[in-house]
Amino acid sequence: MADAATAAPEVRPLVPHLTLGETRDKDYLNGTKCTTCGAMYAGPRLFCSKCSGEGPFETVRLSGTGKVYVWTIIHQATPYVKAPYIAAIVDLDGGVSINTNIVDIEPVPASMKFGMKVKMFTEKVSEDREGNSYVAYRFRPA
């Protein structure tokens, strides 16, 4: 087993509900469906908080498109983030809502409409001290 000092740097998803492909255009959002009650979640689950069940669970691929449910524009942000930026809850087509940045649009209220269609893409957002890269998803107007 390679020790930490010599392990090759990895490319990792920033969140567990993002599955990385060989190239960025092959990345997708993964989710879980509870086969007992039908509840759908972003990411993997061992337990269902809707029916208290322990599965069986079905791994599903979530849609890369959706509609903006609500949004806000953050002006006072943590130091490593460029502000102002838009954060939104997106209802993905076919189920599951996620928290995301909306980019490629001016971060002002006039840019945003409730229900506007958006689509996902992914990009590297950070690197840690060991040189591992982290990829996150964001959404842009469709």
Kindly identify the residues of this chain, within the stretch 43-82, that bind another protein according to CB under 8 A.
49-50, 69-81
At 43, list the tokens.
């990411």
Query: Which is nearer to another protein, 26 or 50 (by Cβ)?
Result: 50
3-state secondary structure the chain: CCCCCCCCCCEEECCCCEECCCCHHHCEEEEEEECCCCCEEECCCCCCCCCCCCCCEEEEECCCEEEEEEEEEECCCCCCCCCCEEEEEEEECCCCEEEEEECCCCCCHHHCCCCCEEEEEEEEEEECCCCCEEEEEEEEEC
Residue 125 CB, shortest distance to another protein, in Å, is 5
Pick the closer one to another protein by CB: 23 or 96. Answer: 96
**Site for another protein contains 136 (CB under 8 A):** yes
Kindly state whether residue 103 participates in binding another protein, applying the rule CB under 8 A. no
Q: Can residue 20 be called a binding residue for another protein (CB under 8 A)? A: no
Q: Does position 30 bind another protein by CB under 8 A?
A: no
In the complex, the residues that contact another protein under the rule CB under 8 A are: 14-15, 39, 41-42, 49-50, 69-81, 84-85, 87-89, 91, 97-101, 109, 114, 125-129, 132, 134, 136-138
